[in-house]
């Protein structure tokens, strides 16, 4: 499989397909066509068919896809076939919401470490995770955690990002409302809730 040829936009849609397929599977749907998947998602069939075509012909013309196989293939492509460990930094309101969120399991993710700088929070146990002192970020290296969720205030974000990179983290999901600078080999995805909101009035007026 030549994953490096899959366009970014397609990769970003794969989790959407995966989520829908998991829901359809729960509803007992064992087989489906790209048209049915598109209908269920409310998007165009052409796009779904094209996206799925990037990773080989495991659908059968006229028969469509076996839900279970399609799920497994997408998990493979997204490298979610093996359990993934993630660290969470910053246990404020948002960090707490993320720590308590139960939906990561279906993508084979588990938050295995949580850090904060607040002495009152350090040592607290939430969902079996003990909040650790932020000074211990460097221990992520030997704990083989390569993915981090950054939910600190803006002022701390860059320094923590530097420490995460130092500790061997290669992927950061950044919720801090600022741009963070990292070496080229480190991937960052940014989610700024206020900025997402800021796109809506324009979109609504189109």
Positions that interact with a second copy (CB under 8 A):
3-4, 11-12, 14-16, 18-20, 23, 40-42, 77-80, 84, 86, 92-94, 96-98, 100-101, 103-104, 106-107, 109, 146-147, 149, 170-171, 173, 177-179, 181, 187, 189, 191-206
Measured from the CB atom, the residue of 63 and 101 that comes closer to a second copy is 101
Alpha carbon distance 97, 174 (integer Å): 15
Taking the complex as a whole, how short is the minimal distance between the CB of residue 137 and a second copy, in angstroms?
Answer: 18
Minimum distance from CB of 56 to a second copy (Å)? 16
Half-sphere exposure of 15 (CA within 13 A, CB side): 10
Q: CB 113 → a second copy: shortest distance, Å?
A: 15
Nearest-angstrom CA–CA distance, 67 and 70: 5
Cβ proximity to a second copy: between 57 and 100 the closer is: 100
The nearest distance, CB 134 to a second copy, in angstroms, is 19
Residue (113 or 149) nearer to a second copy, CB: 149
CA 2 to chain centre: 22
Q: Give least dist CB 161 to a second copy, A.
A: 12
Q: Give the bridge partners for 131, in sequence order.
A: 114
Q: Which is nearer to a second copy, 42 or 62 (CB)?
A: 42
Contact status, residue 89 vs residue 150, Cβ threshold 8 Å: yes
- Residue 62 or 201 with smaller CB distance to a second copy: 201
Q: Which is nearer to a second copy, 63 or 103 (CB)?
A: 103
Q: Least separation, in Å, of the C-beta of 143 and a second copy?
A: 17
As a three-state string, the secondary structure of 178-193 is: CCCCCCCCCEEEECCH
Strand runs labelled E in the chain: 31-32, 65-66, 84-89, 109-116, 125-126, 129-133, 147-150, 171-174, 187-190
Largest CA distance in the chain: 61
């Amino acid at each position: 499989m030549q994953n490096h040829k899959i366009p970014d936009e397609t990769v970003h849609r794969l989790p959407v397909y995966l989520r829908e397929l998991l829901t359809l599977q729960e509803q007992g749907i064992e087989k489906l066509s790209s048209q049915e998947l598109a209908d269920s998602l409310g998007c165009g069939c052409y796009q779904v068919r094209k996206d799925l075509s990037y990773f080989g012909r495991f659908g059968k013309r006229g028969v469509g896809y076996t839900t279970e196989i399609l799920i497994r293939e997408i998990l493979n492509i997204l490298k979610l076939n093996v359990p993934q460990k993630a660290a969470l930094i910053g246990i404020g309101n948002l960090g707490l919401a993320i720590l308590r969120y139960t939906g990561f399991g279906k993508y084979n993710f588990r938050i295995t470490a949580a850090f904060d700088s607040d002495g009152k929070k350090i040592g607290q146990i939430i969902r079996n995770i003990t909040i650790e002192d932020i000074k211990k970020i460097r221990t992520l290296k030997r704990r083989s955690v390569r993915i981090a969720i950054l939910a600190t205030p803006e002022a701390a974000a860059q320094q923590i990002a530097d420490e995460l990179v130092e500790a061997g983290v290669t992927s950061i999901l950044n919720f801090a409302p600022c741009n963070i600078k990292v070496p080229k080999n480190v991937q960052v995805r940014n989610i700024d809730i206020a900025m997402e909101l800021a796109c809506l009035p324009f979109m609504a007026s189109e």
